[in-house]
A and B are shown apart, each in its own frame.
Chain A
Amino acid sequence: MKITVEYSAFLKQHTGRAAETVETGGPCTVQELLRGLAARYGEPFHSALLDQNDRLRPVLLLSVNEEQVNWHQPAPLNDGDIVTILSPIAGGVISKKSKPHGRNG
């Protein structure tokens, strides 16, 4: 199966690309796919993607074909699926001193 995987923000920096096509070699779930990618890329991508129990970091948002996926429910993939992994982003520059009364925005 050919699966397109899209990375955003910090994850894109770790992989060096915004998207890639992955050949799975057989049926797999999105959970298995991501664990395989984490093993292939190694650190720091592995730690950015998965926690110490090899579960998706809860701060990340995962979707298959533009539908959010719950990591705790195995999601079988189909040929041609698009997997998107979104890391959180916000709205401005944070200064070193930026606390609630701090700088920038």
Chain B
Amino acid sequence: MTRPVLTQEDLQTYAWQMAVPDFGEEGQRILKGASVLISRCGGLGGVVAYELAAAGIGRLVLAHAGHVKPSDLNRQILMTHDWIGKPRAQCAARRLRELNPRLEIVAVEENVTEANAAMLVEQSDLVIDCAPLFEERFLMNREAVRQNKPMIECAMYELEARVTSILPGRTPCLRCLHPHPPTQWRRRFPVFGAVSGAAGCLGAMEAIKILTGLGEPLFGVLLVCDLRDMIFKKIRVQRDPACQTCGGR
């Protein structure tokens, strides 16, 4: 990763966060030189993207197919009513540029597939997985492990949110935790935007920490949040030596 020099505008914009101990101007330069892939920028990924854009990340690669629908608007904060029927990836890019015109955005109007996964991961320093389909999640997990890139897993359901960070060869990968896709995964499930947003904010903070070396990331730890009762717990998770994705590493 390069560490570009900060401009006067950068110094003014990020002054408050550069006051955070162990982050400072050096942390800001790292963020400015970093490229992050976010798979799907809906209820989860949209919030991750927004927070990283606000924090001054240099480059975002956003992979999200389809067009904005009314039912997106309870949680997908990068989508707007006036953009219904238009491509989601472009809508997200437009909103992020309004917030941070210095941000470089690669808006990919596709979801992660076998055909594009390697290329999307290659151009990123870190991957953030916010996809609804386990097939997509497993693809990104495989590529992140193969290319030795850190990956952050964000998930939500109803009033539950979960986040963990994967460091290939050191922590469990997604396949270690869930060797097979669930058979019960439903087409539609209940969720509040505030729940996906909470998971997204936690994922964005993990990204900032991993990129800049700040604090203690959720490596080998699954953060489980039950927002119905505001119960947060950290479960220590294990690598699977027989994992079909990372077992030999």
Contact = CB atoms under 8 A, between A and B. Distances in A.
Contacts, number: 147
Given A89-B162, A90-B133, A92-B130, A105 B238 contact: no
B237 A18 contact: no
A104 B182 contact: no
**Band of interface residues on B:** 35 or more
A10 interface: yes
A67 B157 contact: no
Interface string A64-105: 001110100000000000001011111111111011111111
Interface stretch (B14-22, B119-127, B221-229): B221-229
Contacts of A68: 235-238
A91 B45 contact: yes
A15 interface: no
Contact of B178 (A61, A67, A91, A101): A61
A100 B235 contact: no
Contacts of A88: 134, 155, 177-178, 182, 185
Interface stretch (B28-36, B106-114, B205-213): B106-114
26 contacts: A8-B226, A9-B158, A58-B180, A59-B178, A59-B180, A59-B181, A66-B234, A67-B236, A68-B235, A87-B182, A90-B137, A91-B129, A91-B156, A92-B43, A93-B42, A93-B188, A94-B133, A94-B185, A94-B187, A100-B111, A101-B113, A102-B66, A103-B65, A104-B42, A104-B66, A105-B76
Interface of A: 8-10, 18, 48, 58-59, 61, 63, 66-68, 70, 84, 86-96, 98-105
